Structure 1
Amino acid sequence: MIRNILLVFILITSSAITAQRTSSSPYSFFGIGDEFSPVTVEQSAMGGIGVAYSHYKYLNFTNPAAYANLRYTTYSFGLLNNKLSLDNGGVKQSSNSTSLSYFALAFPIGNKAGMSFGLQPVSSVGYSLSNSILGDDNETVSEITLFSGEGGVSRIYSSFGIKVYKELSLGIEVDYKFGNIDNSILNQRAGVSLATKYKETTNVKGGSITLGAQYKKALKNNLIISGGATFKMGNDLKVTGDDYLYSLSVNNSGGEFGRDTISQSEISGNYKLPLKTTLGAGLGKDDKWYVGLEYEKQDAIETTGFLNTTNSAYAYGESNRISLGGFYIPKINSISSYWERVTYRVGVRLEKTGLLVDGSDPYTNYTAVDDFGISFGLGLPLKQLSSVNMGFEFGKRGTTANNLIKENYFNFRLSLSLTDTNWFQKRKID
């Protein structure tokens, strides 16, 4: 029954996940948009850790080697609600958005291997910004420029992990990214009957490969120490499409009426992603507690050939992230108290996104856009090892210095993780 319900669900959501607008951040203007960390709700509640952690029923989007320890077929999908507050040092605005964050299936293959595949958003574009220039009287607007964008990139992936030695597992993940992004700049001047608009419609696609390894060793007193590493190989995202420059008239309600096409050309660019390395270590007891530390590093991204790459107001530098988190279960087999069977998670994350922005001419003083978040969550057990997982994250990104925008956000994440009989296990008849 579960299998039939989720097959219908994936057919409904597979088209919707690529079309939804899941970001209202002005930073989604840059590159392919506001990028999402590829983590489950359980991982995000622990600061995003996962490279050294594996579990017999939970998915792991960080390290494909973790699927070597999977023992149950698991279906999981997650939702994200984002509340965002923007501050430019003078004006504050807020927004709210809800979106599907992933749909995935994982299953064991024998006793030493496991596999997963699914669909996830990679990035989202959803911004609307304006810049006004006052006339000589410093009161009336003489020129206004509107910047807007929408779209995003998603991915389908397949992961495989296998235990090659008693304490060592290896894994590989292959994915394919795809999506559409539209950006536009509209300029209108006082006293001029027609406005001008530059519009760019692009298609993004490309694949990547991630290699992973995990090592787990049992110590005294039922302690388990673990280590993990992943290497996401360098790859290119191909950007193709068309750009248009044309004149138009705009009525009082904002309606646009195109007039003459000034120019049109094809777009051919690249979003070059260098090698990304993630290392981590952890210590814990099975189904009792776990504490992990994780570090991620990537060299500067390179972009060529599409709209926001021609704007010298931003650049990319080296990015890195450090996360600390874990969980605690009071008593997983408690009969007297439901709350003793609940999984309590907590984590903290400090990230240098690699994005550098200069909010004023002549674009020589770039400021790093950093991200800091504190998270916690609950894993509420259901029947047959299934669970509902909730995650809460408070964080801030950016700064009001150098004419930039500071974002304060609250993310609420919810996932349903359902377990089913192992597809490759022979049923026994008594």
Structure 2
Amino acid sequence: MSEVLLIQGAAIEGAERADIVIEDGRIAEVGTGLSRAGARAIDADGLVALPGLVDLHTHLREPGYEASETITTGTRAAAAGGFTAVFAMPNTHPVADTAGVVEQEAALGEAAGYATVQPIGAVTVGQKGEALAEIGAMAHSRARVRVFSDDGFCVWDPLLMRRALEYVKSFGGVVAQHAQDPRLTEGAQMNEGAVSAELGLVGWPAVAEESIIARDVLLAEHVGSRLHVCHLSTAGSVDIVRWAKKRGIDVTAEVTPHHLLLTDENARGYDAVYKVNPPLRREEDVRAVREGLADGTIDIVATDHAPHPAEAKCTEWAAAAHGMVGLESALRVVHDTMVADGPFDFADVARVLSAAPARIGGLAGHGTPIAAGQPAELTLYDPAPRAPFTRDDLRGRSTNSPYVGRELPGSVRWTIHRGYATLADGEVVDLAGGAG
């Protein structure tokens, strides 16, 4: 793992071509015509070099739900998608609401070696919304937790949400809210609209998301604390966050790849691979979140990678689990929706998929510029090919991807974490020896 790497002719964030020398886990030199005796040469002609991708919202399922994913299999999927760091949501068993659980998760990530695993701590005990969890203990543990979320459960009680915002303010943390009013979404199955009415499925109104975001940005302003909005999905939510930012409220927001691309029309076949929380919205919402990402209202793209065993998805819609995997496909979807004939260049991709999520999550050593002296966390991406996404592209334990069979641009060729390759020429490296 300590070998010297010489990356030759990469386009740095899609711009000027340069060579990159990596040794001792850091970028030693960036320039043209570089050489190093004994270095492993990587021909990066035609490849874009990006800072290693950072995902602020994943579900790695361990401990407790290893049939869906483990930290090792999840971080292998991350490496395949170009990610060098992932934040793990707390909906494990036991819930990550104590220092002991988050330290266990971080240690498992270290042992796997494919990516930095940064645990997210629960806001409330057991994610039950009744009492604050051990926020201070998790923040000051070896895992150094800075992001707190009840994930699939909205912190619905406004007083509890206020107290959480006050608590994390003391050490520079952030509360990441799953914005979903539980009363407005009882029995909800998909986005409320014409398609839900035609399909006879209980609708999930946009106001259930928007009302919580509106309340929480005002609470964040009142407390003077940081709020992060998870998987924003509606045009109205974009408007509220845009208003809050103009007002000077310290709020950030994320959008998922699937909310940039897919709509509620995909549910017409009752294929539960498209069942997700929040639900796929209207075409108008897709346009709005793309515009919000382009103008900076939405800060980052986060996958909400949610693996499930086949039996949890291959069933009738109402009984199926919410969620889809997304680590292996995220960069290609962002390329498709925001770069190809869109407003983004690859410097923007580096911002929303690396620098900004690392900054929001307080994760040192990631999201840094590709420059001498910086940690060697890199992704080499080939933007040229366009091919169907297949099951062979999935490297985790679950296969519930909505993109199987869909044509997408690009290909992640190399992922370099701490100076060593975790993905080499498109193949996930077996860190015990060899590629596989």
Whether TM exceeds 0.5 here: the answer is no
Flag the structure with more relative contact order, 1 or 2, with Cα contacts below 8 A and sequence separation at least 6.
2
> TM-score, normalized by length of structure 2?
0.29
Larger Rg: 1
More strand by share: 1
More helix by share: 2
